[in-house]
Structure formats: C-alpha cells, structure tokens
Amino acid sequence: MPRPIISPSVLASDFGKLTIECKRMINGGAEWLHMDVMDGHFVPNITIGPPVLSCVARSIPGIFMDCHMMVEHPEKWVGDIAAAGGSLYCFHIEATSDPLSLIKAIHDKNMRAGVAISPDTPSTAITGEIGAAADMLLVMTVYPGRGGQKFLDRCVPKVAELRARFPDKDIEVDGGVGPKTVHSCAEAGSNVIVAGTAIFHADNPEEVITALKNAVVT
Ligand code: DX5
Ligand code: ZN
C-alpha cells in the first residue's frame, strides 16, 4: 500500500489569499495541493486555470500541484498545465475516448497521470491496461462540480475493487471527505485523501490534516 498523502482542495480556501493558504497547508503537513480546474462544460462551474496555477507555482517553489481536470477535451490542456507547473494531471475517463494516448501525452510532459471516475461510472471503466499505465486513480465520492457536498457512501466499494486490482497505485478519494468519512475510504484502500471544506472551514486545519493522515491504513 502506498504511503498516506493529504491533498487539501483549495476550492474551499479564500482565493484572495491563495498562496498564503497553500503555504499554510504545506507547513501543516499536507504533501500535495488539490487544484480543481472546472471549465463550465464538463461541469456547470468555472474555477481556476493555468494562470492561477502558475502564480501558485512561482510563489511556492517545489509545490506538488495535484490538478483535477473537470474539463471537456482534457487532451487540450496538458501542455498549458505542464507549463504552469502542474505535477499530476488527473482527467475524467468520461471526458475522453482515448485514455491511453492521453496518459502518454501527460507523461511526455513529465507529469504524473491520474484517471478519475464520477459516482455513476463503474470501476471497470478503468481497465487493466489503463490502470497499469496511470499513476493515480481517483474515485469521486460526490458528483464533480462544487465543494461542500455530502459524501456518497455508495462509491466506497469502488475504492476496494480498484485497490484489489492495483495494489501499488495511488488511489485518491475526493468529495465530502473529512474526519468522519475518511475511515471507510482508508479501510477500502485509499491512500490519497482530498478534503476541502473539512480542512479549510475547520478552526484548526493542521489538526484535521494530521487526523486524516493518521486514518490512512498503511
Ligand atoms: C468537487 C471537487 C472537490 C471538492 C472537494 O467537484 O472535485 O475537490 O472541492 O471539496 P469538499 O471536500 O468540500 O467536498
Ligand atoms: Zn477535486
């Protein structure tokens, strides 16, 4: 089982002081920063894109940006996200007909490749070949599109199915995850925990990061 990684979702942060918030997360024990890129097409919302990511990367050298691409035509943004300093490019399998070529394009730009599945997509959409080529698999535990939604328990079995098939891969959960819901995800085999509201709206975000990290079964 790969090591525990906490990836706070900056969507729940105060964008007016984004770089300060990111630094606080890293100093508080977060290893990655989860950057939710939404295009207003794949999901109804629009959030941030390459200009904002490059600003964060310039302010925090060495930062690991876990870019969750909730976009149509994910192949279109690989170059721009890489140039902006993206470390991991996670696309939705629902948004592409050629995931293997996309994974190769991401690797060619020296980023790690992630493959996300929305709540209604079965884990079998990630075939053996796709899972083997990817570096990370993301099981959404809410419908992509906005923060602060209720965790969907019914998505957890997909984590266990993927962990059984891909014992060495990073498996991320995203959506409604916090100190109460993290345990079922961790027991199912998730090692990369995304949390937005639970971290940024807490009185003590650093304590929440530690609690989430300790919940991951190693
Ligand atoms: C939802 C995003 C999530 C979200 C997580 O579309 O992908 O990353 O911001 O936020 P919380 O933890 O508040 O559900
Ligand atoms: Zn996300």
DSSP β-ladder status, 192-195 and 170-174: parallel
- pTM > 0.95: yes or no: yes
Question: Which two three-digit tokens encode residue 118?
Answer: 């929305």
- What pLDDT does 26 receive? 97
Distances (CA, A) of 114 to 48, 83, 118, 157, 214: 19, 18, 13, 19, 24
Q: Is residue 40 part of a domain?
A: yes
What is the span of the domain harbouring residue 98?
Answer: 5-191
Q: Is residue 108 part of a domain?
A: yes
Distance 142 CA to ligand 1 centre (A): 8
Ligand 1, CB cutoff 6 Å, lining residues: 9, 11-12, 34, 36, 68, 142, 144-149, 174-177, 194-198
Hey, is 26 helix, strand or coil? helix
* Residue 179: CATH number of its domain: 3.20.20.70
- What pLDDT does 148 receive? 97
ipTM for the whole predicted complex goes beyond 0.90 = yes
Q: Is residue 13 part of a domain?
A: yes
Q: Is residue 157 part of a domain?
A: yes
Gap between the Cα atoms of 213 and 89, Å rounded:
22
List the one residue out of 161, 164, 158 whose CA is nearest residue 174. Answer: 158
Gap between the Cα atoms of 7 and 88, Å rounded:
12
Q: Give the total number of structural domains in the chain.
A: 1
Gap between the Cα atoms of 83 and 50, Å rounded:
8
Q: Is residue 207 part of a domain?
A: no
Q: Is residue 212 part of a domain?
A: no
Residues assigned a catalytic role: 36, 174
16 labelled ligand-binding: no
H-type helices in the chain, by residue range? 18-27, 50-59, 78-83, 99-108, 128-133, 156-165, 182-188, 197-200, 205-215
Distance 195 CA to ligand 1 centre (A): 7
Question: Which two three-digit tokens encode residue 211?
Answer: 């609690």
Q: Is residue 203 part of a domain?
A: no
- pLDDT in single tens digits along all 218 residues of the chain: 899 999 999 999 999 999 999 999 999 999 999 999 999 999 999 999 999 999 999 999 999 999 999 999 999 999 999 999 999 999 999 999 999 999 999 999 999 999 999 999 999 999 999 999 999 999 999 999 999 999 999 999 999 999 999 999 999 999 999 999 999 999 999 999 999 999 999 999 999 999 999 999 77
Ligand 1 atom index nearest CA of 195: 12
Q: Is residue 15 part of a domain?
A: yes
